[in-house]
Amino acid sequence: MAENLIVAFLLTLIAGLATGIGSVLAFLTSTTNTKFLSLTLGFSAGVMIYVSMIEIFVKAKDALVSSMGVQLGNWLTVAGFFGGMLLIAMIDKFIPKQGNPHELKKVEDMEKPEKSVVRDPELLKMGTFTALAIAIHNFPEGIATFTSALQDPGLGIAIAFAIAIHNIPEGIAVSVPVYFATGDRKKAFKLSFLSGLSEPIGALLAFLILMPFLNDLMFGLIFSSVAGIMVFISLDELLPAAKRYDEAHMSIYGLIGGMAVMALSLLLFI
């Protein structure tokens, strides 16, 4: 159990700090590889959707049926699934519009401003709001990664990998406006990096608050909610972002590839 706890925390930390990778990529490259981003975002969505519907939802239902009986267990599974969707949708609704993390940015936007140009406080404000928005978004993702890894480390690795991929462009979305507004790479990287720390914070709170009550009923409700959260993120964030970066259906190829890789990994570890 202690070993699973360490693995769960580490996976959540790695997934969250991938926002910093996005920031570094923005500084080290001169152009955005849109094909690669479209493919990987689609891949991440494929992993999330497949593992949510085929593995996590089923595990949630098994736990709830075992705990509460067939009829109530099935109702609670569905309620938890749509409850997770509602939670992430409400978070989306109350995030300030100018800080929307779905706003795509490209590395080409990372042009160093001339010293004579007055820094734009609105851009800095937008970058700060984006960092805050991503931090709020990443909080339930941290709980999802942690609880999944705690129950099944193999499943946790898959989820952490998918979330890490989708955090990379979010890191770019923070860095671009902050750097353009200030010309300060360190400030841009720091805000991007810190926005990802909410995932391990989410994991820590899940450990402190949920762990004492982690029975079949609690586990089933958490897992069904996690499935809903990840499906919503895939449909609302990943696939639309992948399509906006898209070239020659790369996002759909990535989606199918993500599902296939997830299906194969689940078959291999049966």
Please give the annotated binding residues for Zn(2+), written as ranges: 141, 166, 170
Distances (CA, A) of 132 to 73, 101, 127: 36, 9, 9
Which amino acid type is present at position 208? Answer: L
Tokens of 234: 């895939």
Distances (CA, A) of 247 to 12, 119, 142, 217, 242: 31, 34, 31, 44, 9
Is residue 222 classed exposed, middle or buried when 0-12, 13-18 and 19+ CB atoms within 10 A define those classes? buried
Give the end-to-end CA distance of the chain in Å, rounded to a whole number: 21
Give binding residues for Fe(2+) as ranges: 138, 141, 167, 170, 199
Count of Cβ atoms closer than 10 Å to residue 74 Cβ? 14
CA distance 264 to 203: 28
CA distance 270 to 264: 10
3-state secondary structure of 248: coil
Distances (CA, A) of 74 to 145, 182, 247: 23, 53, 41
For the residues of 165-216, what is the DSSP string, one character each?
A: HHHHHHHHHHHHHHHHHH--HHHHHHHHHHHHTHHHHHHHHIIIIIGGG-SH
Give binding residues as ranges: 138, 141, 166-167, 170, 199
The length of the chain, given as a count of residues? 270
Which amino acid type is present at position 39? Answer: L
